[in-house]
Chain A
Amino acid sequence: MGDITLTINDAPVTGQDGMTILEVARENGVDIPTMCYLKELSPIGACRLCVVEVEGSRNLVGSCHTPITEGMVIQTHSPRVVTARRMVVELMMANHPDNCLVCDAANQCELRQVAADLDVGLPSFKLKKHYYPIEDISPYLVRDLGKCILCQRCIRACDEIAKQKVFNLAYRGFDCKVIVDLDQPVDKEVCRDCDVCVSVCPTVALRKPKKQGEEKKGPPLILSQ
């Protein structure tokens, strides 16, 4: 387990055998945006936001799952990389509901944040949106799958941290969806009040139910719903 030297954005850096590009980059103060990645969870390389350019590699590579090798030469913010990242975010936004303005999580939403960071405005193309009914019958959990970006954090967190397997991926391709049971709404039978999934959801596809008395804290800025 020795040191590995590599180059990130023209600067020589060192990492340990087994580390990923993302880990080394972050250790050295280089910020690569991520979405499906979470330090506590196993990487799956699904969102493709963390792609970087590696010399000798035909395509961009996912930095969250690619281990470093000796002599690697990496560009994390080259025009090619930034263009690609913007397209990834633009695609996510194109499929996302248009209601950021009235969305509870606008200020904490990681998707909105990364879109702002990358200067992604309104999508330049049309993409069908997924409309799913809001699931709000469980006392612990509200699911709004229209806002799901399929990062699979909830699936992994429930499995790897909470040691439950409430969520699964079902269907395929454009119709892919995170399901509970045999694609039923979340109810109190399946889920206990552990909140792990809620805390990892980058949007508010998963959230806690609002309690009546707490709903309005002062006059609302915008009259919603």
Chain B
Amino acid sequence: MAGKVESQELDLTKLDKILSRYEGQDDALISVLQGVQAEFGWVPQGAIEHIADAFQISPGEVYGVLTFYEQFYLTPRGRNTIRVCRGTACHVRGTNANLRTVERTLGIKEGGTTNDFKFSLETVACLGTCFLAPVMMVNRNYYGKLTPDKVETILKQYD
């Protein structure tokens, strides 16, 4: 799986399909990049140049936008994305211990991806589910009122 992600050739037909959804919309750069991110899981370099051409701007400008927003990744991501919330409510209810547990269990730091491309770890400013604090999300699933041992059990459910 790991090899497959890395050697993935950029599928230009998929990219053009995303671009065609926003044809003629000058303001759609971020939407296109979001589409690419959703399709490929990251934004490959080849895509940047292609998108810059389509919008008739310099690749550097696209790169500037990409690196401004946290949502975008310039390297391949894991199959499952863990988002540990660092919101205020989570902070005062001890989210740091959970984050450390994830980091220790997976052997990666915030922003990292495991070597087997099973998990990527992110922290987010606030998931807006403060009543569940401390919270993390794995893909689209929320896990609330977490403790370090609950975290370990949850991670085992994914592959």
**A interface residues (Cβ-Cβ under 8 A, vs B):** 165-172, 179-183
Q: How far is the CB of B45 from chain A (nearest CB, A)?
A: 7
B residues less than 8 Å from A165 (CB atoms)? 57-58, 60-61
C-alpha gap A66/B59 in the complex (Å):
33
Verify B58–A170 contact, CB threshold 8 A: no
C-alpha gap A171/B67 in the complex (Å):
5
| Cross-interface CB contact of B68 among A166, A167, A171, A182, cutoff 8 Å | A171
Chain B residues with a Cβ closer than 8 Å to the other chain, count: 11
Known pairs A182-B45, A182-B48; A170 contacts B64 (CB<8 A): yes
Q: How far is the CB of B79 from chain A (nearest CB, A)?
A: 26
16 contacts between A and B (CB under 8 A): A165-B60, A166-B60, A167-B60, A168-B60, A168-B61, A168-B63, A170-B63, A170-B64, A170-B67, A170-B68, A171-B68, A172-B67, A179-B60, A181-B59, A181-B63, A182-B45
Verify B61–A182 contact, CB threshold 8 A: no
Q: How far is the CB of A69 from chain B (nearest CB, A)?
A: 32
B74 (CB) vs chain A CBs: closest residue: A182
Verify A179–B58 contact, CB threshold 8 A: no
Verify B67–A180 contact, CB threshold 8 A: no
C-alpha gap A165/B45 in the complex (Å):
19
Q: How far is the CB of B44 from chain A (nearest CB, A)?
A: 11
Q: How far is the CB of B117 from chain A (nearest CB, A)?
A: 23
C-alpha gap A60/B48 in the complex (Å):
40
Nearest 3 pairs of A and B residues by beta carbon? A168-B60, A168-B64, A170-B64
C-alpha gap A167/B64 in the complex (Å):
10
Verify B68–A180 contact, CB threshold 8 A: no
**Seed contacts A165-B61, A170-B68, A172-B67; 6 additional CB < 8 Å A-B pairs:** A168-B60, A170-B64, A170-B67, A181-B63, A182-B45, A182-B63
Q: How far is the CB of B58 from chain A (nearest CB, A)?
A: 5
A residues less than 8 Å from B57 (CB atoms)? 165
Interface residues in B15-69 (C-beta closer than 8 Å to A): 45, 48, 57-61, 63-64, 67-68
Verify A183–B61 contact, CB threshold 8 A: no
| Cross-interface CB contact of B60 among A171, A172, A182, cutoff 8 Å | A182
C-alpha gap A217/B89 in the complex (Å):
64
C-alpha gap A181/B59 in the complex (Å):
6
C-alpha gap A157/B76 in the complex (Å):
36
Q: How far is the CB of A78 from chain B (nearest CB, A)?
A: 36
Verify A172–B61 contact, CB threshold 8 A: no
C-alpha gap A23/B67 in the complex (Å):
35
C-alpha gap A179/B63 in the complex (Å):
9
C-alpha gap A182/B64 in the complex (Å):
8
B residues less than 8 Å from A166 (CB atoms)? 58, 60
C-alpha gap A180/B45 in the complex (Å):
15
C-alpha gap A172/B63 in the complex (Å):
12
A residues less than 8 Å from B67 (CB atoms)? 170-172
Known pairs A171-B68, A172-B68; A183 contacts B58 (CB<8 A): no
